[in-house]
Amino acid sequence: MAGSPWGVSRARPWGSIAGMSAGRTEGPAWVRDAVWWHVYPLGFVGAEPRDEPGRPVAHRLPHLAAWLDHAVELGASGLALGPVFASETHGYDTVDHLRVDPRLGDDDDLDALLAACRERGLRVLLDGVFNHVGRDHPAFRAVLEQGPAAPTASWFRLRWPDGGWAPGVEPGYDDFEGHAHLVALDHSAPGVEDHVVEVMTHWLDRGADGWRLDAAYAVPAAFWARVADRVRQRHPDAYLMGEVIHGDYARAVGDGHLDAVTQYELWKAVWSSLNDANFFELDAALARHGALLDRFTPYTFVGNHDVTRIASKVTDERHLAHALVVLFTVGGTPAVYAGDEHAFRGVKEDRAGGDDAVRPPFPATPGELSPLGLPVYRLHQELIGLRRRHRWLHTARTRALHLANEQLAYEVTADGERLVVALNLADAPAEIPAPGAGEVLAGATEPAGDRVRVPAHGWAVLG
């Protein structure tokens, strides 16, 4: 979200223990091989910051379609698409969930993009904003125009003045995190549930493969559970992933009948441990991550449209590689935020327009990018290729073999398979204990018995 700081068999025995399943939520089988390329479309295509009534439709989605081969060459298997539905400004103030934002195009443009993804074997994850709507949404406009008698008045948490309603009188209402232009929905209202189910199934019918549920943490889990169950009656293979920043991730998945949530805990630990030369923080986060993997497979990332670019977040650019190595060698469903694969810089700021630096327009074709980003692009290709050759990494657990402030070696295991990862943040080469490490699969190191020699600020992945 713009204001955030931070007939198919399915294993879904949700139930009894504190509202959670004693089993594991597996999600659709195809997600096991998913690597997402995440795009914020309004920024990507250089759309105007605000939609204006009467402005003609701008057919800009073909601009994004021209980059799909880039995603495939990167190694991605899916396009995680930010908000594409009609909104007032940044896409998260939706005014029509069933219409494409005219700054991006129309239904035909989105259909063409979905078809182009299918032709390339790319899955598509849409961004659903169902916690709130923009003030200009017809359901809220009806409330302003008709008062408590509006058929959609029950959709919102309203407070009418003691003197009653009269034309021109506006009720008080709950909003999203203090943003008055984002009107919170009342998720106990049957009409809201019906609307969300209609929207989700409509676009799944049109060819989408799943939904990122924006601000899922702000919505009662019972609502997601009812919606998810109804949606899966029509689309049992849909992937439903919630944006959750803080709190109990496993409970959010279990109680909400979701497949996954965003792994912000691991995101924070990756860059923070690198910047502070404190691998103890990362090791603790990986232990927590392993516990989550016992329940579901988190959606993992080191960058997205709501946070400072990873190339700007790490204070030593030599450690950008280390962040990527962690992302692609631990369990999870990894996502690459468009531009990160070319080491784009950008700092998020807490002010109006503070997201602009991390949501820039992209050129017409990848060939127009600066060649300065190619080494990082090739590193992404190498690590994504390694991951896709070891598809068991999707649910792999980690265990530290050696832990110090500036050095970490961990093994990654699943399905009888094993990799060893060695990381060094120090200014000098280090001999790092790595018992059982085999051939070097990526990075630079020299085996030395049960140790590996890792260069200064180096890393290695070994069989």
Residue 409 lies in a domain: no
The pairs formed by 402-408 with CB atoms below 8 angstroms and a separation of 24 or more are: 402/432, 402/433, 402/434, 403/279, 403/280, 403/283, 404/279, 405/277, 405/278, 405/279, 405/280, 406/277, 406/279, 406/430, 407/279, 407/432, 407/454, 408/279, 408/282, 408/283
> Partners of 74 in the beta sheet?
none
Q: What is the pTM of this model?
A: 0.94
- Dihedral angle over CA of 269, 415, 74, 36, nearest 10: -60
Model confidence at 309, pLDDT cuts 50, 70, 90, reads: very high
Nearest-angstrom CA–CA distance, 459 and 319:
9
Residue 215 lies in a domain: yes
pLDDT tens track for 193-241: 999 999 999 999 999 999 999 999 999 999 999 999 999 999 999 999 9
Residue 407 lies in a domain: no
pLDDT tens track for 163-204: 888 888 899 999 999 999 999 999 999 999 999 999 999 999
Arithmetic mean of pLDDT over the chain: 94
Instruction: Please report where in the chains the tokens 């860059």 appear, as a residue.
Output: 271
Asked if residue 5 has pLDDT above 70, the reply is no
430: helix, strand or coil: strand
CATH code, 263: 3.20.20.80
Asked if residue 447 has pLDDT above 80, the reply is no
Nearest-angstrom CA–CA distance, 133 and 128:
11
Residue 432 lies in a domain: no
pLDDT tens track for 358-381: 999 999 999 999 999 999 999 999
Number of domains in the chain: 1
Residue 78 lies in a domain: yes
Asked if residue 444 has pLDDT above 90, the reply is no
Asked if residue 340 has pLDDT above 80, the reply is yes
Nearest-angstrom CA–CA distance, 231 and 201:
6
Asked if residue 123 has pLDDT above 70, the reply is yes
Model confidence at 425, pLDDT cuts 50, 70, 90, reads: very high
220: helix, strand or coil: coil
Residue 20 lies in a domain: no
The separation between the first and the last C-alpha atoms of the chain, rounded to the nearest angstrom, is 39
Give the other-Cβ count within 10 Å of 254's Cβ. Answer: 25
Residue 13 lies in a domain: no
Range of the structural domain that residue 216 is part of: 29-396
Residue 362 lies in a domain: yes
Rg (CA), the chain: 23
Report the candidate in 265, 267, 268, 286 with the shortest Cα–Cα distance to residue 408: 286
